[in-house]
Structure 1
């Protein structure tokens, strides 16, 4: 049975440091949810409290409606996978997977035949059946992490908790194992909670992301919701690089570059309070949504052009503002952009937030009009 998790007003401090500040959260049954945030944001502390490895100063952890704070970790029905595998070095792969079943109280312990069958099933699931008699020292990092995952699944947990499970692996293995975990999750329909500081990993793997900062939840939503409709500047910038353009809002919510009369983009929500305010805002634009076009004596000066994988990364300066634009590498030659040359700037899509002290904190989305993007 999968677990629906409810976190209510959870707080935890270590001395004067507040690791969690009145956190409330719903984790739907059967979803893979990523706890994302910088170091010190509270995500691992939250995971440890859910697992029963730490106790909160205040608040509740409910799994399927039952408060589990007072329960021993063994009684919570939770499987835990750590970053550094935590396998028993003196046990074989099969013995490691079977461990959680063999240490159950006698009345709850499966028979030896049942344990062997369960271990064989899990080894098939993680595609490592041929390694049952090997020791952890004889396995690769990716294989060890699969064994650790099989061991966590052996007890048939309501909830699977993963604390930076791929952090010790190289990039290629990390991506392969992440895709494999995603497929495995949907095959087992177990509720999973993944702690990561890797934005790309969270965006690719999770059904839902909980983005945390300084012990609080900044925003909860699907990867698409957080990326395209960030609630705060922190969310927007944490989930990817962005250019900052100081603007004032003109008629109809148009974003006008500060100090000039240049209209960069138009607001998509004309009735938004911020659009009608004429306020000073910061317009955030992703590098792939920034279009630079050569223009003699244009306000932008190209400072550097370099290859970044399949993309060309163009760095520039405009009135002291640093800019970064991305374009498919095959378009670079035809673009006419060269180091030292001038260009003009066009914004394809952007998100604006009011300056500090303005009463309308909600984001306002923008897009260009009449701009054709080169193929």
Structure 2
């Protein structure tokens, strides 16, 4: 098999990259070890920055998102039993965020690629990348028990944190930066209409909580917990009790309950590797960086990565320009580290740390009071939350 760009991974990064390359007239093949149903139903976060929404609309992917997505012009911060609204649109010149599940974006991308005749090979096994320092890198894999080989000009490693591409880079090339947080998020999907029109980020002495949503009928909720806890220790009754305690305030607002459709515990970490490229291999998305979900940056960073990579590849094929490819990692990392800073800041401001002294706990509250009381501080939060401008 032969193509211009071999893409490992059919998550949002790999699928969107293939779509953008197609618009530039560049051929690609996507290899994915899971089945299509698993990829399309894998539930992940769903807060899209303004730039992500604009890119999906501009490239013909936004029809269902515009119809079903929930546009939010603000978020709420809750602490000391009071709620404070951050008006995102007013503070950023009209920008907003859109709540639209990552799996819904994936469904739209798969449909678009297949409609355009794109090649997505699901359920492949034994994927390995070779000859990364040559001008003809290869991807070997097996499908239906038969060995296969894909020869290409470039390889895009969009295969996530546990993928094969990053470990294929020789030892000593990459520098890893990582922080593991001493807590996780217990998340549930509940079949009940959201109790708030906007997201609520709650700081509480018992730990962080988040009220989010997936649709007009489905609510997404989280509580801070021990990352090593057993989900069996969290029956539905206990989860709802904690959510009521952490989210409710001195107004008459009440959290509505409904049947729990799904629940699980997700550990939290910050992770970055530098550089994001080696020879003809380019990493994108979770293969190169992980952010705690507090800042809602994960998929948006992946979108920014592949937007830049598609433009760099277009410059190479159309004009023979290698400068954007050479600068890919450095350009991406400027945005990534800003997103890491924002996500770390939101996480440290809103979560309970067991090692925090009473002094540090009071500083947290003072930080929240400052952010919600200062236009300058609120603007900084809003600018980061709706998404910083793309870099080229």
TM-score by length of 1: 0.27
Higher strand share: 1
Higher relative contact order (CA 8 A, sep 6+): 2
Greater share of helix: 2
